[in-house]
Amino acid sequence: MSPTSLRRWGWIHKWSSLVCTAFMLLLCLTGLPLIYHHEIGHLLGTDVEAPAMPVDTLRGNIDAVLASAKELYPNKMAMYMSQEIDEPAIWNVTLGDHPNDEHYKPIAVDARTTEVITEPAFEGGAFMSTMFRLHVDLFAGLYGKLFLGFMGLLLIVAVVSGAVLYAPFMRKLDFGEVRHERSRVIKWLDLHNLLGIVTLVWVLVVGATGMVNTWADLLLKYWQNTEIAEMLKPYEGQPPATRLASIHEAIVRAERAEPGMKVAFVAFPGTPFTSSHHYGVYMRGEEAFSSRLYKPVLIDAATGEITDRRELPWYLTALLLSQPLHFGDYGGQPMKLLWALLDIGTIIILGSGLYLWFKRSRKARAANQSKPAAHESPALARSTESP
């Protein structure tokens, strides 16, 4: 590689890294507890657990589940019902004042007894809620997500440019060598390069999937304006449903229509994931990856009959597949441990990059200050610097 190309790649690596490093550090620090959000929630007592019962205990009537939740807030409307893949004994019911209420009330109801268990803390309590919002959108909504997506793009550029620079750098050294006999700066440079290569693939995967996740709102809006709009054409001009059919029967019909799949969540009429005429019943598989892929079944909220069902478009499939890859929460504790170790390694890379830049900048400033001014002779400059 020519010296000009090396300088160009060096410039790209330097500035793409500097611009995104502070935000990437924030994302790595907030992402670390999110990897273990279930365990932290259990430790803090914010995780909801269903009472122990025999495994073959039958599921209760889902209309009764909804009624139990609404007894707490009779003036609020149902927005969503959902079940976690690892906790089918609990229905999570969301109630609000209107279909887009951001100050909704989450209620956990036992799916077997149909009795309310608790009102869980949002996102696992104040600490986890803060970590989650900082990691997802910096408390800035869509604009925060898009900004972090751009930082993710710069991270990918920094990683690729760093790999390009690493190849000629390592021609003079053994692969992964850390020169302990040299200065502290050289040792940190070698460690920075070593960890960068070790975590290269992981950082690219997490950076790319994180960037895709920041587009979720835009992709969902596009899907609603295209495929969902097409599914709802027969209902154009009709007034919203006023009397709703049994949600229990609607879910049973969806399960019969999609054998081998389970309900992930139900969107009630008027919410963003359905229309004012339908229950949106979103089904998912039972395997590690298929449990992340939803299939919408639209059910007429007035009659309880299925009106349409289809596979998600490729871009939403890519979005949903990117989420378990980003958080590493589909492979059990070994995967979580690996993700945590790689996250810590990335924190060290980012921190050492800032340290190296600071040292080089200070050295460059010192060198510039020691240079003679253009109108001074070198001898005069040396004489003025002498004690």
pLDDT digits (tens, 9 = 90+) for 324-369: 788 877 777 888 899 999 999 999 988 888 888 888 777 777 777 7
Among 141, 151, 93, smallest CA distance to 117 is for 93
Among 8, 352, 361, smallest CA distance to 186 is for 352
Sheet holding 294-300, edge to edge: 116-118, 105-110, 87-96, 77-84, 262-267, 278-284, 294-300, 306-309
Q: How far apart are CA 104 and CA 117, in angstroms?
A: 17
One-letter amino acid for residue 341 of the chain: L
* CB distance 47 to 38 below 8 Å: yes
Q: How far apart are CA 314 and CA 319, in angstroms?
A: 9
Between 251 and 188, where is the model more confident? 251
* CB distance 186 to 198 below 8 Å: no
**DSSP state string for 52-65:** P--TTPPPPPHHHH
Only one residue has tokens 């939403």, namely: 316
Give the pLDDT confidence score for residue 379 in this predicted structure.
37
Give the pLDDT confidence score for residue 88 in this predicted structure.
87
Q: Calculate mean pLDDT across residues 16-24.
A: 91
Q: How far apart are CA 65 and CA 108, in angstroms?
A: 9
Give the pLDDT confidence score for residue 355 in this predicted structure.
82
Between 36 and 92, where is the model more confident? 92
Give the pLDDT confidence score for residue 387 in this predicted structure.
33
